Amino acid sequence: MVNNVNIELANKEAIKLIQAAQPIIKGVGVARDVVPGMRENMILHAGPPITWDRMSGPMRGAVIGGIIYQGLAKDQASAEKLAASRDIVFAPWHEHSGVGPMAGVATANMPVWIIENKTHGNRTYCTLNEGLGKVLRFGAFSPEVIDRLRWMQDILGPVIAAALELRGEINLKSLIAQALQMGDEVHNRNRAGTSLFFREIAPAIVDTKFRDADKKKVLEFITSNDHFFLNLSMPAAKAMLQAAEWIKGSTIVTTMSRNGTDFGIRVAGLQERWFTGPAQMVKGLLFPGYSDADCNPDLGDSAITETAGLGAFSMAAAPAIVRFVGGSASQAYEITNRMYEITEAESESFQIPALDFRGSPTGINLLKVCERDILPQINTGIAHCRAGIGQVGAGLVNPPFACFEAALEAFAETYAPVFQ
């Protein structure tokens, strides 16, 4: 009991809300129409707030691409000039009920997933996954990247939107639970999730009024990219955690996020305040031809999956991921087992077969992280540190301890006198 706040009870309440959340796919809309506060000159990005002058290379590359795609500038030079001016408003996705993988850049014209937590009614958003190779989220902005984004706006978004209208909502929590039984941890391994979503949507796509050639291209686009589901698992995780975003006195972490420069966390009992520290370097497997010198520090909102007990927290469900991020299968089990040390609960929905169906470690407790000196584990993609290049690998990373220390201090101040 702290200043009339019982932390234990508050955390129980937060966990109850997270467990009860039921994220579904509601539809696909255009960011300007559906994302709260979105406007023409706004650029949403991953991680805590950041200004142009402090942005890393891949974040700058994605911003340049976003500005060109949105038609606000014609080329790189004028886009950079505009980005540095006051005419562009930068804002974290997390402050607009959304998430974005890697750079996470979104502009007003982009189609976005609309995810709804059926239990509590809150909605979250995310762009549609662009695929692999040269893509905006890893900082590429060449004409092929912009052309693909325009096709996604003109065809991909509308076809999926129409198919979802015919088919009705899709239960994302169930898809994620099934994917964990099929070797995904739905952060860096999404092959099962993508497959299951594809099975759900394909018959309805055939049913839409679009041309056969467009239907076929949409199906091929989805199936050619095993990460397509990532942009669904992320807003699903966000929709679950958002339910607990403001529980007075709770020390449950509701956000872990990186902008490529800073790592930021938010805590239920501290509402919308960010606590940051330097984004760390990722250790893992690099694509041929790249070295550590090519790697940007940790980037993206995708650590929302770990915050919800998925991603690296559920690595024991996805031993095959070590082929992508490095390590051995036994290491995957060790990571999940360690994460039980800093979490408050075991998921009632997400089960890990290899641990005899134990629920995934859910609800990071700030106090446990600090007391036990165990940092959350994250697995993640690695972007090239220069704008315009793209992904160079994938690996494992932790947050800086500094953001947890800062949050603990703020919690003590807010709920004094318990920690004094």
Name the residues that contact a second copy, by CB under 8 A. 178, 181-184, 191-192, 195-196, 198-200, 202-203, 205-207, 212, 215-216, 219-220, 223, 319-320, 323, 328-330, 353-357
- Pick 121 or 357: Cβ nearer a second copy: 357
- Pick 239 or 321: Cβ nearer a second copy: 321
Radius of gyration of the chain (CA): 20
The β-bridge partners of 124 are: 115
Centroid of chain to Cα 261: 16
**Are 246 and 253 spatial neighbours (Cβ–Cβ below 8 Å)?**
no
Q: How far is the CB of 220 from a second copy (least distance, A)?
A: 5
Spatial separation of the C-alpha atoms in residues 354 and 316, rounded to whole Å: 7
Q: What is the separation, in whole angstroms, between the first and last Cα of the chain?
A: 14
- Pick 10 or 352: Cβ nearer a second copy: 352
Spatial separation of the C-alpha atoms in residues 146 and 39, rounded to whole Å: 20
Spatial separation of the C-alpha atoms in residues 298 and 216, rounded to whole Å: 36
Asked if the bond preceding 417 is cis, omega within 30° of 0, the reply is yes
Spatial separation of the C-alpha atoms in residues 22 and 388, rounded to whole Å: 38
- Pick 354 or 374: Cβ nearer a second copy: 354
Spatial separation of the C-alpha atoms in residues 21 and 267, rounded to whole Å: 18
Per DSSP, the residues of 64-113 read HHHHHHTTS-SSHHHHHHHHHSTTSEEEEGGGGTB--STT--B-TTSEEE
**Are 267 and 250 spatial neighbours (Cβ–Cβ below 8 Å)?**
yes
- Pick 157 or 319: Cβ nearer a second copy: 319
Residue 162's contacts (CB-CB under 8 Å, 6 or more residues apart) are 208, 209, 210
Q: How far is the CB of 354 from a second copy (least distance, A)?
A: 5
- Pick 355 or 412: Cβ nearer a second copy: 355
- Pick 10 or 205: Cβ nearer a second copy: 205
Spatial separation of the C-alpha atoms in residues 236 and 238, rounded to whole Å: 5
Q: How far is the CB of 213 from a second copy (least distance, A)?
A: 9
- Pick 226 or 262: Cβ nearer a second copy: 226
